[in-house]
Chains A and B, each alone.
Chain A
Amino acid sequence: MALPTYASPLERIWYYTYLVICSLVFLFLIAPILVVIPLSFNAEPYFTFTEKMLSLDPTGYSLRWYDALLTLGHPAPETPRDNTWWNAVWERATWVQAAKNSFWVGLWATILATVLGTIAALGLSRPEMPYRRLIMALLISPMIVPIIIIAVGMSFFFAKACVAPDSAMGLLFGWALSEKGCLANSHLGVIVAHAVLGIPFVIITVTATLSGFDQSLIRAAQSLGANPRTTFFKVIMPLILPGVISGALFAFVTSFDEVVAVLFIAGPDQQTIPRQMFNGIREAISPAILAVATILVLISVLLLVTVELLRRRSDRLRGVTGR
């Protein structure tokens, strides 16, 4: 907003105050995220800037907290760093295990949420869809209902949701269930819970993409002799793909950042990064948490840039200019 030429002195003062206020709010938004990055290179076990760091003394900085991520849970951290040492990191280090769990759970939850969510969004954006508003409200509700309620409900229900190991369901899903054949304390339980939490994001982004979708393109494809499968893969899919990928990334981030459901329904084998961080912050807070936080910030910057690029591409494809 440029200042109009007829502005009075008072308005000029107010205008500059307004700009200062805005800058302060931006600072409030971004500073807490950026501040963890230099702090994670602290050479001391403190959560604040030391004298040496402030005077930019190189000895005030170190990579010891990143190193700590590899050595925590390592059976022999002091031995030379050869192949065996790195193997042990991959197999035993606590944070590496948590990262692996987070990644796999996130991946499967994303696939589940994206596939089911995209198909449902296709149905929801058809004009003939019955009870559209009600179904939409239901599918968005995992985002609105407090996570603690979802977690409590799931922890009650998943403890009872068990199958006999020799039954058909047990043979099919037994590998992903807990030893007793239950959803509680199992990888499948966490995946399913995270998929539910990711669904609203997929539904919202894909229906938003479809709202600008020209339905006559489908009729055009069909009139030119395309069967439904060809229509879907050659006409619909390329146009909604940016929205689907954004939704999938949202779903992945939701799972990658989720801790409450994990706390309530997961067992010791499903240690994830957020759970490890949550426990770390609650018990012994060490700058190693800041090192993890820095890595996570870098990941989120990467994801944000991807989504922004996708959104622009989608707008361009759909002929929407500007935001």
Chain B
Amino acid sequence: MAEATPELLTTADGRPLKAALEAAQSRAKRRAFLLVLPLLLFVLVTFLIPIGYMLKRSFEHDGFAASAPALVAWFEANPGFDPANPPEEAYAALVQDLARMQTEKTTGIAGTRINYSVPGSISLFKKGAREAAELTPPFKDSLVGVDADWAKPALWRGMASAADVYTIEFYKVASDLKLGDEGWARGADNERIYLYLFGKTFLISAIITVLCLLLAFPVAHLLATLPMAKSSLLMILVLLPFWTSLLVRTTSWIALLQEQGIVNDLLVGIGLIGDDGRLSMMYNMTGTIVAMTHVLLPFMILPLYSVMRVIPPSYARAARSLGATSWTTFRRVYLPQTLPGIAAGSLLVFILAVGYYITPALVGGADGQLISNLIAFHMTKSNWSLAAAIAGMLLASILLLYWLYDRLIGIDRLKFG
């Protein structure tokens, strides 16, 4: 019998099977992608581009570069000038630009740009621009005569840096660096507000995460071990807060925790504290922590529950029958099996807590504010570039956590109810 020669498999119309399969697969791929495409475009335009635009603004500000052409040209020609003692022609260019700002009404925007790195520059620029037309040479002496701050090396460093439209200065400011006469340096300890607030935000979020875990663990366990009929009834108690407006929940916490609120009334009523010893639990960090723990608790219970539900009870029984105490059974057998749920819930709660805005804004008072509230504050003060830079830093940390979440748990495991 002759050896069968390997024959190329083909489809009915004679194409090689391999090529036909590949064509069919890429067609299926294209079809699947086309279904997602409209949403992708929508998200691109309304979500990605706005965030990208915000990030661009955190690196870019042409307020000074566009309104001071003479000085910008001079900085370009003299990159190595001494900021402690700029020459007369630099002052001449500056006075020329100030006069121009006055006529073109760009003093505010130029001053705002410099103000980010050198506080007080807005009023300095306004004052200088008002007088600029009347100033006579030598410009150095006459301008310093208007305000001695015009000779500050820090100001000249700031202007030289602002001559470039693109800058990382806003990130430097948001990292608590200060532009001094010698250049950028770490600010004094009591002036380090931004990194301090970042640290505080992470700390409060960690506290909230731990509190949520402690409260959620027994409840999730109960829900997972009860018979279905009872547990679905109790599950409603977990899902109702989830569906209730955040503002409603925050309002209720104000009613409960404020000084004339229900909890204090109750404590006074049963004589635990005196009427003058009412606890202040609202409009401070306690208020933020309690209200946020309540708001985020369902996000911890639901992932824990979905993991605990599939842990077979026979493992614990086996451990007990082999002589383990109930504590050892819990610690060595049950707890390790719940770890995926603990990781999923904790990461989710932590991520959501770090970016929280509404609850701290309403119940946080002065010391319960988080980093989001600082961003909002700078937005209302029109410090847009600084707000964008802080938001950029917050975004970077959130994306890192999100990546971690995807790595450890996988986003497609996210579910509600």
Give the B-binding residues of A (Cβ under 8 A). 1, 4, 6, 11, 14, 18-19, 21-22, 25-26, 28-33, 35-36, 39, 46-49, 112, 116-117, 119-120, 122-124, 126, 128-130, 133, 135-142, 144-150, 152-158, 160, 192-193, 195-196, 199, 201, 204-205, 207-208, 250, 253, 256-257, 259-260, 264, 274, 277-278, 281-282, 285, 289-290, 293, 296-297, 300-301, 303-304, 307-308, 311, 322-323
Contact = CB atoms under 8 A, between A and B. Distances in A.
Given A128-B32, A129-B33, A304-B240, 4 more contacts: A18-B218, A28-B294, A146-B354, A278-B362
Interface size class of B (residues with CB under 8 A): 35 or more
A282 B49 CA distance: 32
B375 A148 contact: yes
A150 B50 contact: yes
B165 interface: no
A149 B240 contact: no
Interface string B239-254: 1110111111111111
A21 B398 CA distance: 33
Interface string B389-415: 001001100100010011000011011
Most buried by B among A6, A48, A130, A205: A48
A292 to B, nearest CB: 8
A141 B402 contact: yes
Contacts of A120: 35-36, 38-40
B398 A29 contact: no
**Closest 4 pairs between A and B when the two form their complex, measured CB to CB:** A146-B355, A123-B35, A153-B50, A1-B225
B28 A146 contact: no
A122 B31 CA distance: 11
A237 B265 CA distance: 54
Given A49-B265, A128-B25, A278-B358, A322 B228 contact: yes
Given A123-B35, A277-B247, A196 B47 contact: yes
Interface of B: 25, 28-29, 31-36, 38-40, 42-43, 46-54, 57, 215-216, 218-219, 221-222, 225-226, 228, 231-232, 234, 236-241, 243-256, 258, 260-262, 265, 294, 297-298, 309, 320, 326, 351-352, 354-358, 361-362, 372, 375-376, 379, 384, 387-388, 391, 394-395, 398, 402, 405-406, 411-412, 414-417
A48 B260 contact: yes
B222 A47 contact: no
Contacts of B298: 29
* Interface of A (DSSP majority class): helix
A135 B402 CA distance: 14
Contact of A29 (B43, B238, B261): B238
A154 B29 contact: no
B32 A35 contact: no
Contacts of A140: 411, 414
B139 to A, nearest CB: 38
Given A22-B222, A140-B414, A256 B245 contact: yes
B391 A149 contact: yes
B309 A21 contact: no
Contacts of B40: 120, 135, 138-139
Contacts of A290: 251, 255
Contacts of A158: 50
B243 A300 contact: yes
A128 B28 contact: yes
Contacts of B29: 128-130
A150 B50 CA distance: 8
Contact of A35 (B57, B219, B252, B411): B252
Given A48-B255, A122-B35, A126-B32, A146 B54 contact: no
A117 to B, nearest CB: 6
A26 B219 contact: yes
B416 A205 contact: yes
A311 B417 contact: yes
A297 B244 contact: yes
Contacts of B243: 253, 300-301, 303-304, 307
A277 B251 contact: yes
Contacts of A289: 251
Contacts of B234: 26
B46 to A, nearest CB: 5
A278 B294 contact: no
Contacts of B411: 133, 136-137, 140
Contacts of B294: 28-29, 32
A145 B51 contact: yes
A207 to B, nearest CB: 7
B125 to A, nearest CB: 24
B240 A35 contact: no
A45 to B, nearest CB: 12
